[in-house]
Structure 1
Amino acid sequence: MDVEKANHRRKRNRTCCCIGTTICIIIAIVILILILALTVFKAKRPVISYDHMSIEDLDVSFDITKLKVHLNVTLDIDLSVKNPNKAGFKYSNSTAFLNYRGQLVGEVPLPADQISAGETKPMNVSLTLMADRLLSNSDLYSDVKSGVLALNSNVRISGKVKILGLKIHAVSTSSCDFSVFISNQTIRDQTCKYKTQL
């Protein structure tokens, strides 16, 4: 009987030991996952950068009798989107906008794509100013006559980062104010603001 009790006690001790070890391993794994989720795999915001802007085409003509100006401008813009995450960033269809004094005057679609972990994806955008949208704008004639056209370009990319099985929504916005100098067809006074949110 004593031998049976001793064996029973040993089995119970082994079972308790196994259960205790398993619980300790599970707790350690949970702590490790939490640490990784809050450090290495923490979701980071993708960042849009304006790398280079140039004038691809610029045509200006005046109608002095009607005090009107005919203007066609096409800008060549090199952007890059950096994904600092340890997982891919998948973004949906987006759009790059061109504004003149708060008025939308041009847009170009940016097709949906994916950016691998740690990758910086270059994008080339050709934005054309739609002159017909400016026919009613009274400031255009005086701005073109002065030789400087103040414009704004705005890009917003929305997508998801998948980290440890969780899909985290991320939005990156970039807005650049700049001046087009008509006489020598250059872009100057470029000021950009970047905003990202999760």
Structure 2
Amino acid sequence: MADNKDQVKPLAPAAVAPFSSPSDDGAFAFSPEFNYSSHRRRKSCCVKCCGCAAAVMLVLAVIALALVLTVFRIKNPKIKMNSVEINGWDAAAGNGNGNANGTIKLTLTANVSVKNPNVASFKFYNTTTSVYCNGSPAGEASTPAGEILAGKTISVKINVPVAEDVITAGGNLPVLSSRTTMMGKISIKNIIKRSHVVVKMNCTMKVNPTTHSLQDFSCFKTAASS
């Protein structure tokens, strides 16, 4: 019987502690399902934000490209010869328009208009007009520098002195030609620049010394820029 009393009883299994809640010790309970759902929502939100930002940038790029190709595209100024005539045919030799040798000084008067189709001003330097009679130089004149505002048109009056004997030496109907060269620069907000703009206009006409008039008048223009 003593053996039965001395027999050691088996220990009871340890009780499993219950899962502690945040209110037990202040620690946050880990929930795998909750964190995965939050991560997925954050990832979806980031994707949407990035997509919206990319779409906005694409729209802005398209708008900027359209403006550069249309509104802000630098165009060459347009030059036009409105009228041209010769003054001084009726002047007496040696009287006012004549010189000591009796040569009558004539004046080729041209009215030229220049239009600036850009959204920025066109600043031009001195404009040179040269006159030739049957290919030989007959006179030259220059007009002062200036500026044409955006979308505006100005008129320039050019007076080129020539000698009557130079014209009459060309025959019955000498060919008179003029070359007008205008140089300048265009800058839009100091972003889009064209620092070297050259506009040229060449005109040809026949002179009738008998009627003191011009006939068969024609002009063509060229423009080069860089």
Q: TM-score band (shorter)? A: 0.7 to 0.9
Aligned match of 1:96: 129
Aligned match of 2:202: 175
**Using a 3 Å threshold, how does the CA distance of structure 1 residues 34 and 100 change in structure 2: closer, same or farther?**
same
1:110-134 Cα shifts (integer Å, max 9, x gaps): 22222222222111111111679x5
Structure 1 residue 192, shift from structure 2 partner = 1.0
Paired-residue identity, %: 27
- The reply to whether residue 166 of structure 1 matches residue 192 of structure 2 is yes
8 Å Cα contact 2:105/2:164 also seen in 1: yes
Aligned match of 2:65: 34
Q: Output the TM-score relative to the length of structure 2.
A: 0.68
1:64-85 Cα shifts (integer Å, max 9, x gaps): xxxx993421021100012222
Partners of 1:162 and 1:142 in 2: how far apart? Answer: 47
Q: How does 1:134-149 map to 2 (within 5 A)?
A: 142-143=169-170, 146=172, 148-149=173-174
**Using a 3 Å threshold, how does the CA distance of structure 1 residues 101 and 107 change in structure 2: closer, same or farther?**
same
Unaligned runs of 5+ in 2: 1-29, 94-100
Aligned match of 2:56: 25
1:50-109 Cα shifts (integer Å, max 9, x gaps): 101122223586xxxxxx993421021100012222332222222111112222222222
Unaligned runs of 5+ in 1: 62-67, 135-139
1:4-52 Cα shifts (integer Å, max 9, x gaps): 6655554554444333322321221111111222233332221211101
2:75 to 44, 56, 66: 44
**Using a 3 Å threshold, how does the CA distance of structure 1 residues 113 and 171 change in structure 2: closer, same or farther?**
same
- The reply to whether residue 194 of structure 1 matches residue 221 of structure 2 is yes
SS in 1 for 2:170: helix
User: Counterpart amino acid of 1:79?
Assistant: V
Question: Which structure has greater strand proportion?
Answer: 1
User: Counterpart amino acid of 2:179?
Assistant: N
1:162-198 Cα shifts (integer Å, max 9, x gaps): 2462112432111111123223322211111111233
Alignment RMSD:
2.9
Q: Which has the higher contact order (CA 8 A, sep 6+)?
A: 1
Partners of 2:42 and 2:92 in 1: how far apart? Answer: 93
Aligned match of 1:154: 179
User: Counterpart amino acid of 1:103?
Assistant: S
User: Counterpart amino acid of 1:54?
Assistant: E
- Alignment coverage as a number of residue pairs: 184
